[in-house]
Structure 1
């Protein structure tokens, strides 16, 4: 009965971590460009009491053995990079990637991070930056006398100035994609970092070589489904209750043994 207590304990711990993952998804249901996580379970080591296929006699073998599992654990979480719905805004600095790809963001330490959050702003120098002040890469600087700001579906950034209706190209946005986006390291602030698992970034012009196009005056919503997460939460709660019941049952059996033997 004691092993049953430890097995149930691993179930409680795993479901607790699963609920943490679900709660993080629900907490970010309104976060621009957020991608939901999914917890992945894995059974633990088995104690082999009788080896499957072992010889029971010289001419016969065991069709199945005696294998006792030791519980469960969460082996990892996986980001789901399916696209969220696109929401039209009236802000010219709002952008979304319609398809595959990430915006490239220059970190203070000089490294490049990646994001699906297209909520951009202008700093005091006219540079297009994130809400945390990190600039796009390649940098886009909007002159102070700019009257309009336009981003094409291929990333071409153009402006018009006061007294000059002719369009002027001031830069070209590029996006990056990865062979395995789920291998990116989430660092918060809607940013990701390249890892050995994600592979090297494949940088290119939006709309070409499988990269999605850019949509101005548009933001990508979180891909979290509230209904699905609520169902997952109920399922997790029931699984937690069942593991708690196992502990209660094992405790009752141990109490019976100690009181009657």
Structure 2
């Protein structure tokens, strides 16, 4: 009975949807996290009689035909790109991006990673690093005797020294943008990798060519809407239950068939 396998694909789909929602809720406090959405597509159809074919009995053309669907499959899990609210932290190397753009990170593998997590740190040698210890690109090193830092909206990093009135420019943080942000590959740790789907990064100065600007002393919160996630969780749970009921009904029909004498 096809209903058993069809309902099973529905249960698998709703289970995957719950897993995606679970990941979203688990990352409600993750800096700059964007919600993921599970998307589905119907499976192949069994063509019992094709629309437009000739009816053998009287020669007329069938207007619709008979097509029996075989269930559902996962089509994609896409990232819902949205700006999270900015939260004041007061950290001199906490940088929120207002608008489009990603920070470029040098990974140990030699690849370039990209992130919107602006919770930067100062390493033992003064190098600006991520929370996981990866170096920012372009490389910026702050002298040990710098008493404070200032980062303007364009990403220029200035250091203040005790024996000088005017600050010194240490470097400029750039931003990377992509044609298709949703095509980036998430690798964990708030990091993404370039893919064929995302297109190559376009590196530029903050505030120019459609790129966002920096806000020093702020971090971007996740864009998770808890109410929406809970609503979708209820829908997924009910969808799973309905497919389970179809399996129960199909089982009862098969049981009735076997009891025929």
**Which of the five TM-score ranges fits, normalised by the shorter chain?**
over 0.9
**1:170-185 matched pairs, under 5 angstroms:** 170-185=170-185
Partner residue of 1:125? 125
Following TM superposition, by how much is the alpha carbon of 1:60 offset from its aligned partner in structure 2, in angstroms? Answer: 2.9
4+ residue runs over 4 A deviation: none
**Which residues of structure 2 form unaligned runs of 5+?**
none
Residue 55 of structure 1 corresponds to: 54
Deviations 1:190-231 (A, max 9, x none): 000000000010100000000000111010000111110000
Note the 1:109-148 alignment, pairs <5 A. Answer: 109-148=109-148
Match for residue 189 of structure 2?
Answer: 189
* Unaligned ranges ≥5, structure 1: none
Structure 2 CA distance for aligned equivalents of residues 208 and 111 of structure 1: 25
What is the CA–CA distance in structure 2 between the aligned matches of 1:216 and 1:172, rounded to whole Å?
A: 13
Indicate the residue corresponding to 1:9 in structure 2: 8
- Residue 63 of structure 1: SS of its match in structure 2? coil
Counterpart secondary structure, 1:260: coil
What is the aligned length?
Answer: 260
In the superposition, the TM-score normalised over structure 2's length comes to 0.98
Post-superposition offset of 1:165: 1.7
* Cα separation, 2, equivalents of 1:258 and 1:109: 61
Residue 22 of structure 2 corresponds to: 23
Q: CA RMSD in A?
A: 1.0
Q: CA deviation at 1:59?
A: 6.0
Output the CA distance in 2 between the equivalents of 1:109 and 1:239. Answer: 43
CA distance in 1, matches of 2:172, 2:15: 46
Q: Distance in 1 between matches of 2:156 and 2:210?
A: 17
In the alignment, what sits opposite 2:77?
77
Post-superposition shift, 1:111?
A: 1.2
Q: Deviations over 1:151-180 (max 9, x none)?
A: 110111111111212110000000000000
Which residue pairs with 1:65 in the alignment? 65
